[in-house]
Amino acid sequence: MPLYAYRCVAGGSAGLICADFEVQLAMGSAPSSLPCPACGAPARRRFTAPNLSRASSTAYRLIESTQRSASEPAVVRSPVPGTRPAGNMTTNPLHRKLPRPD
Ligand SMILES: [Zn+2]
């Protein structure tokens, strides 16, 4: 369930923050105001960026592996199994008749 952030502003127009608190509620069920746990006055909901986990995203893993390989490139001792050997770029026999560089 997402966390919803609320802020109680004591005195309203004074602009002083009485309490900041977060409540875990079902998605879409957060009211626009909740009673403040410190003073009981209605605290307005704050709109914050969703706190989504980036740890499992493909983009995050790509960034991680790019940063790692920048300082310590991965050592490859043999071709990746299932790939064609280097130099044999095409299997079309007509391509063998093409002129070759000397
Ligand atoms: Zn308060």
Q: What is the pTM of this model?
A: 0.45
Residue 82 lies in a domain: no
CA 7 – CA 30 distance, rounded (Å): 14
CA-based max dimension of the chain: 87
Residue 64 lies in a domain: yes
Q: How many whole angstroms from 44 Cα to the centroid of ligand 1?
A: 10
Residue 88 lies in a domain: no
Q: How many whole angstroms from 31 Cα to the centroid of ligand 1?
A: 17
Q: How many domains does the chain have?
A: 1
In order along its 102 residues, the chain shows pLDDT tens digits of 778 889 988 765 566 788 888 888 888 888 999 998 888 888 999 887 765 555 567 777 888 788 888 877 777 777 777 776 666 677 888 988 888 887
Handedness of CA 17, 18, 24, 28 (dihedral sign): negative
Domain span at 58: 1-72
Residue 56 lies in a domain: yes
**Residue-level length of the chain:** 102
Q: How many whole angstroms from 26 Cα to the centroid of ligand 1?
A: 23
